[in-house]
Amino acid sequence: DRAWKKQDIGAPAEATIAAFRGRGLSRIPLHGPLSWTVPGCVDGWFRLHERFGRIPWPALFETAIRAADEGFSVTPVIARMWQEAQPLLAGNPGSAAAFLPRGRAPRAGETVRNPDLGSSLRQIALDGPDAVYRGAIARGLSACAGRVGAFLSAGDLAAHASEWVEPLSLSFRGVDVWELPPNTQGVVVLEMLNILSGYDLASLGPRSADYLHLWIEAKKLAYENRARWIGDPADSPPGASVSGLLAPEHGVLQRHRIDPNRAALEAAPSEHPARSCDTVYVTAVDRDRNACSLIQSVFHSFGSGVAPEGLGFVVQNRGSLFHLDPDHPNALRPGKRPFHTIIPAMVTRDGRPLFSFGVMGGDMQPQGQVQILVNLLVHGMNPQEAGDAPRVRHDGSSTPTGDAMQEGGVVHLEPAFGDAVAAALRRKGHRVETSDGGYGGYQGIWIDEETGMLLGGSESRKDGLALGI
């Protein structure tokens, strides 16, 4: 069954370009209540369970409720991210109460409880999505919206509906790679693979400057189309489609635009920076080799930074991704879904699941996915090796606030690539920086076609694990 679930988190009915401009705003704030859209995840969970689930709905929440009630130990990675978000959380009473329980961010090793979240999860376990869209949680959300000045209303919540969508796919190295369609950026992965498919990547090796140059230039071209085309397809002009980006002839045309010896000086803006402290990716494969690839996020660290009192969770800030230019493909309109960064992925061969995976991290998600796939499918790495291999990240030609950056953007390399590779890329005209962070968070499961064995890979740069039971 190839059906994929996509959560519809559209803009509230009163969230219009005129309403924001009437408040003197030229862009939607990154944080705060004006960045809210309708939260779609709970209805998404329920529809997935309704169609594919085997465990009773209430049982799904038992472990999470126990962790919220009894507490969990904070890891060093999460403690650092929590500390960075402390000023944001301190600015809202509900967020401070839920997430700064000692008046500060928890430290590594401390135990944190969130009984309000446990109560919310119990209501969802009992009443399903009605708790969030029509019941007690909906009332708490809409009451908070009224207090803090959000556009979200009880009517917006009640009108929510998720939808099943048909995924996009591309054949690459004898397999089919599957991604969610717009309003997500899954097509970016497929366009990059389409461009790179015309090169002898195996002969270049995974760490060479020549390979990295081709990868960077393919990324620039694919992100240029991301900025030009991707928005809610229900709001797109008649005839607008991204399917042409996956045609073989498009890959040929894009390769003609790449100079193998010189970096292009134009690069699409990095509007959705690489951040993965707000996102969780999970993949699971069962005894019958059914596979699930799932990613969930509140976008930025602690989302909007606003937690409705007594509910134990923050509301996401996905609405900040909208534009207030009415001609932009991602222009704000009531009910419209914003551009989305999160993209669970899957690989099949002859219609059967082969590899279920994802990479957390905003702008880094397509970049990371392509690197994982090339490592696996071209260079023959196993799932753990493919994730442990050093990564590259390219940031576009401007920051999320519109501040100018270097022409052609900036190439970030992990130190393991070495100084010689960095120097070779600079000779091709790239601006190169070496850094330790910002390369996403990967998880994946490979299904061995001969033995049926499951081979897991887990991100070594962050918390995570590969577990067989």
Which residue blocks in 295-417 are alpha helix, DSSP H? 364-377, 383-388
Residues recognised as catalytic: 279
Please name every residue paired with 108 in a beta bridge, in sequence order, or none if there are none: none
Structure tokens at 442: 């990967």
Q: How far is CA 227 from CA 132, 148, 179, 214, in A?
A: 33, 32, 18, 20
Q: What is the mean pLDDT of the chain?
A: 92
Residue 269 has pLDDT above 90, yes or no: no
* pLDDT (mean) for 258-278: 76
* CA separation for the pair 181, 233 (Å, rounded): 9
> Which two structure tokens, joined as six digits, stand for 125?
């376990």
Nearest Cα neighbor of 338 from 3, 4, 12, 78 is: 12
For the ranges 33-47, 268-282, 427-441, the lowest mean pLDDT is seen at 268-282
Q: Can you tell me the mean pLDDT for 365-388? A: 98
Is the model's pLDDT at 273 over the cut of 80? no
- Asked whether residue 417 carries a pLDDT value surpassing 80, the answer given is yes
Q: Report the C-alpha gap between 188 and 179 in whole angstroms.
A: 9
Query: What's the pLDDT score for residue 5?
Result: 47
What is the pLDDT, as a whole number, of residue 457? 97
DSSP run (H or E) holding 5: strand 4-6
Residue 459 and residue 120: Cα distance in Å, rounded?
A: 30
The whole-number average pLDDT for the span 278-293 is 94
Condensed to tens digits (0 to 9), the pLDDT of residues 121-180 reads 999 999 999 999 999 999 999 999 999 999 999 999 999 999 999 999 999 999 999 999
Angle, in degrees to the nearest 10, between helices 419-427 and 209-229: 60
Q: Each residue of 300-327: pLDDT tens digit? A: 999 999 999 999 999 999 999 999 999 9
pLDDT at 402 over 70: no
> Which pLDDT does position 271 carry in this prediction?
61
Report the pLDDT value the prediction gives residue 242, as an integer from 0 to 100: 86
The answer on pLDDT for 18 being more than 60 is: yes
pLDDT value at residue 418: 97
- 434 half-sphere exposure, CB direction, 13 A CA radius: 13
